[in-house]
Chain A
């Protein structure tokens, strides 16, 4: 591994963690699409700030862009408040316009400078190590490590300092307002943070993939845990995993690094979506199957209990007949019988089923539990 490669991975990981932290709250507050709007709209802020300052590396650009992010949020809210369009439509109306103006300004008036359209979308992580920070002639490493590092610390500090407020405002806005936490302040603070993070990450991964890094890791973490601190830590870990493995798959495929980071983060979500211990598709299917069999077992013993000691008993306890009355498929009936035998609820005697003492007692209890409200 060359020094450059290590540096790229460090930058990518810092970007991923910095994005995942505010992303957790976006996902929980159902504002994920706001990150899409912000990350597009900050382009206009960057361009306008560049026209004002005339220097592409000025820190004022970050401030301008962050302001435009917050402006986007308030514009969306303004359009919303008119009541003329629904909320999702107002997001869809505001950010394409701001982004378009940004793109037009770049291609009309700034086509010969550093911000070209491809970089806006793709980011240029591969070039990040070339832009180095020198202090008194000493090479202190890539500049973006410091920029993103500061943003990461800012995010961390905001979350640590306002943890309680964020938590209450996220899960119970009404309570937060009642306690005097001014949910509006927390909301705009968070939006400002998202904007600053998006600006910082913009250079590295481009405007659209910022969204992937903000949303996919928290979404995966959301399926893995119910606790907020764990969700934050898991999101950060998944972010780092996406960054590092995204980098290596990009090397392997000779492809765009940011794109493969986004793809890997999506892949991780997909794996979690399928295999998560409690909320994954596989776990849900397993649980459903188990519940179905359990319920069928109850129905079976109740059926047997119902006909016990009646003239039809011998006919009603035939396995073939049970399939027909309870409308079970052949294989399913067999598995239910096997399950009930294993649990000691029924016995099989030459093709007929008989309740055990335990089964009789269980059936009686089930009737009460299941059918008497």
Chain B
């Protein structure tokens, strides 16, 4: 692939520029609003909303005969809302559980959408072409007017989140507290859900209804690994979303027969995997490395302690003890010899004779220090 050429095309080629802009907007908006969905344990609600958008799109087209992005977006958003309403009322009034309501509404709405889509496809006028691109998305088909619509909606959604920053934060982390403070929690909930519906609907043309949910969950789940701060999380999540959106859309536009939605999902999944492995403090590799280091330190301290307690028995810090005794005292944990070598490199122990070890003066001090630190810690508790 001609990478420099691709970059110059990014700015000067109409199609590529449109695609990149559209996917960037999609990534930013879904990343930012997805953060709230993930924090509020509504990750899979996005899945239901995006599937449910299909009958909305089809119905909007059937009723108006128009394929204007705004018309279809309104239809999709309305259907997404109805689906959410159904889920909530089923969960609130019956004993049917959340996951069941979610899965059922998702698949039934999608089925309804397929019925409407096949009805549309069999109509005599050939105007229906292109509605099925909503299944998996087709970035290459984005037009400038689509991107303008996306931009206006996306910017307004983000502006509203910024205006209601404090309220949404409270709603996400402690809704009960928010309601005791007198915030209109129900209305805020409705506004936030509507914004999430908008974020989903924006991506339908690019990513498609089947996979749009991943764009809500994945950037936010990645960003969550790197920070504990909501503001930073949202900015990071928007950045990850944009990165995945642009790279996926450009790849799919430049490689033949590479569907856009799945490509974007694969690139966002790569970001998730990298984040879960490498993120400082939370990442899997990071935790593994820290545990390893701690285990090593504990082992060294243990041997120092053993030597110290032996020295106390003999009233002579310089008294040498054989390796086998130390092995016995470390309760079969192994690695005694290697730990002794590390300790002697640090000048804390010395080999009096081969296989017999004693504390040095520095080692004695060190052992006393760790022992007192440890007992100090247990005193504090």
Q: Mark B62-94, 1 if CB is under 8 A from A, else 0.
A: 000000000000000000000000000010011
User: Do the beta carbons of A258 and B114 come within 8 Å of each other?
Assistant: yes
Question: Distance (Å) between the CB of B271 and the closest chain A CB?
Answer: 11
Question: Which of B234-242, B259-267, B354-362 participates in binding chain A?
Answer: B259-267
Of residues 263 through 278 on chain B, the ones whose CB sits less than 8 Å from some CB of chain A are 263, 265-266, 269, 272, 276
Chain A residues within an 8 Å CB radius of B110: 208-209, 212, 259, 262
Q: Is B349 an interface residue (CB 8 A)?
A: no
User: Do the beta carbons of B115 and A104 come within 8 Å of each other?
Assistant: no
Cross-interface CB contact of A31 among B99, B118, B269, cutoff 8 Å: B99
A261–B257 Cα distance when bound, in Å, is 32
User: Do the beta carbons of B266 and A92 come within 8 Å of each other?
Assistant: no
User: Do the beta carbons of A273 and B94 come within 8 Å of each other?
Assistant: yes
Contacts A97-B214, A100-B263 hold; do A84 and B46 have CB atoms under 8 A apart?
Answer: no
Of residues 163 through 213 on chain A, the ones whose CB sits less than 8 Å from some CB of chain B are 208-212
Q: Is B23 an interface residue (CB 8 A)?
A: no
Chain B residues within an 8 Å CB radius of A281: 93
A253–B111 Cα distance when bound, in Å, is 14
User: Do the beta carbons of B43 and A86 come within 8 Å of each other?
Assistant: yes
Contacts A100-B261, A269-B104 hold; do A255 and B115 have CB atoms under 8 A apart?
Answer: yes
Chain A residues within an 8 Å CB radius of B95: 222-223, 279
Question: Which of A32-40, A229-237, A300-308, A342-350 participates in binding chain B?
Answer: A32-40
Chain B residues within an 8 Å CB radius of A211: 103, 106-107
Chain B residues within an 8 Å CB radius of A96: 211, 213-214, 218, 265, 269
Contacts A31-B99, A82-B276 hold; do A263 and B108 have CB atoms under 8 A apart?
Answer: yes
Chain A residues within an 8 Å CB radius of B249: none
User: Do the beta carbons of B257 and A89 come within 8 Å of each other?
Assistant: no
Chain B residues within an 8 Å CB radius of A33: 44, 99, 102-103
Contacts A89-B221, A93-B272, A101-B266 hold; do A27 and B111 have CB atoms under 8 A apart?
Answer: no
Q: Is B122 an interface residue (CB 8 A)?
A: yes
Q: Mark A80-96, 1 if CB is under 8 A from B, else 0.
A: 00101110110111001
Q: Is B61 an interface residue (CB 8 A)?
A: no
User: Do the beta carbons of A266 and B266 come within 8 Å of each other?
Assistant: no
Nearest residue (CB) in A for B279 is A84
Contacts A93-B269, A258-B111, A263-B112 hold; do A84 and B276 have CB atoms under 8 A apart?
Answer: yes
A3–B257 Cα distance when bound, in Å, is 40
Chain A residues within an 8 Å CB radius of B113: 259
Q: Is A108 an interface residue (CB 8 A)?
A: yes
Nearest residue (CB) in A for B216 is A92
Interface centre among B42, B122, B224, B262, by most A CB within 10 Å? B262
Chain B residues within an 8 Å CB radius of A79: 276
Chain B residues within an 8 Å CB radius of A212: 104, 107-108, 110-111
A314–B96 Cα distance when bound, in Å, is 51
User: Do the beta carbons of B111 and A97 come within 8 Å of each other?
Assistant: no
A357–B279 Cα distance when bound, in Å, is 78
User: Do the beta carbons of A265 and B106 come within 8 Å of each other?
Assistant: no
Instruction: Give how many A residues have a beta carbon under 8 Å from the other chain's beta carbons.
Output: 61
Chain B residues within an 8 Å CB radius of A215: 100, 103-104, 107
Interface centre among B100, B111, B214, B262, by most A CB within 10 Å? B111
A322–B132 Cα distance when bound, in Å, is 64
User: Do the beta carbons of B135 and A263 come within 8 Å of each other?
Assistant: no
Question: Distance (Å) between the CB of A40 and the closest chain B CB?
Answer: 8
Q: Is B325 an interface residue (CB 8 A)?
A: no
Q: Is the interface of A mostly helix, strand, loop or mixed?
A: helix
Question: Distance (Å) between the CB of A158 and the closest chain B CB?
Answer: 21
Chain B residues within an 8 Å CB radius of A30: 97, 99-100
Of residues 321 through 350 on chain A, the ones whose CB sits less than 8 Å from some CB of chain B are none
User: Do the beta carbons of A260 and B103 come within 8 Å of each other?
Assistant: no
Chain A residues within an 8 Å CB radius of B109: 266
Q: Is A312 an interface residue (CB 8 A)?
A: no
User: Do the beta carbons of B225 and A266 come within 8 Å of each other?
Assistant: no
A31–B103 Cα distance when bound, in Å, is 10
Chain B residues within an 8 Å CB radius of A133: none
Of residues 97 through 153 on chain B, the ones whose CB sits less than 8 Å from some CB of chain A are 97, 99-119, 122, 132, 135-136
Nearest residue (CB) in A for B111 is A262
Q: Is B217 an interface residue (CB 8 A)?
A: yes
Q: Is A216 an interface residue (CB 8 A)?
A: yes
Nearest residue (CB) in A for B256 is A108
Interface centre among A86, A122, A208, A214, by most B CB within 10 Å? A208
Question: Distance (Å) between the CB of A142 and the closest chain B CB?
Answer: 22
Chain A residues within an 8 Å CB radius of B47: 36, 92
Q: Is B210 an interface residue (CB 8 A)?
A: yes
User: Do the beta carbons of B96 and A223 come within 8 Å of each other?
Assistant: yes
Cross-interface CB contact of A92 among B97, B105, B217, cutoff 8 Å: B217
User: Do the beta carbons of B266 and A104 come within 8 Å of each other?
Assistant: yes
Chain B residues within an 8 Å CB radius of A216: 104, 107-108
Chain A residues within an 8 Å CB radius of B135: 117, 121
A344–B266 Cα distance when bound, in Å, is 73
Nearest residue (CB) in A for B282 is A84
Chain A residues within an 8 Å CB radius of B96: 27, 219, 222-223
User: Do the beta carbons of B224 and A99 come within 8 Å of each other?
Assistant: no
A69–B23 Cα distance when bound, in Å, is 31
Q: Is B284 an interface residue (CB 8 A)?
A: yes
Question: Distance (Å) between the CB of B248 and the closest chain A CB?
Answer: 10
Chain B residues within an 8 Å CB radius of A104: 258-259, 262-263, 266
Q: Is B38 an interface residue (CB 8 A)?
A: yes
Nearest residue (CB) in B for A260 is B115
A259–B258 Cα distance when bound, in Å, is 27
Interface centre among B46, B99, B110, by most A CB within 10 Å? B99
A212–B272 Cα distance when bound, in Å, is 29
Q: Is B51 an interface residue (CB 8 A)?
A: yes
Q: Is B381 an interface residue (CB 8 A)?
A: no
Chain A residues within an 8 Å CB radius of B369: none
User: Do the beta carbons of B102 and A32 come within 8 Å of each other?
Assistant: yes
Between-chain CB contacts (< 8 Å), 16 pairs: A79-B276, A86-B41, A86-B43, A89-B217, A92-B43, A99-B265, A100-B262, A104-B263, A121-B135, A121-B210, A208-B106, A212-B104, A259-B111, A262-B108, A266-B104, A279-B95
Report B's interface with A, CB cutoff 8 A.
38, 41-44, 46-47, 51, 90, 93-97, 99-119, 122, 132, 135-136, 210-211, 213-214, 216-218, 221, 224-225, 257-259, 261-263, 265-266, 269, 272, 276, 282, 284
Known contacts A108-B257, A208-B51; 12 further A-B pairs (Cβ under 8 A): A84-B221, A84-B282, A88-B43, A92-B43, A108-B258, A209-B110, A211-B107, A215-B100, A215-B107, A254-B119, A262-B112, A269-B108
User: Closest 6 A-B residue pairs measured CB to CB?
Assistant: A262-B111, A266-B108, A259-B114, A100-B262, A212-B107, A96-B214
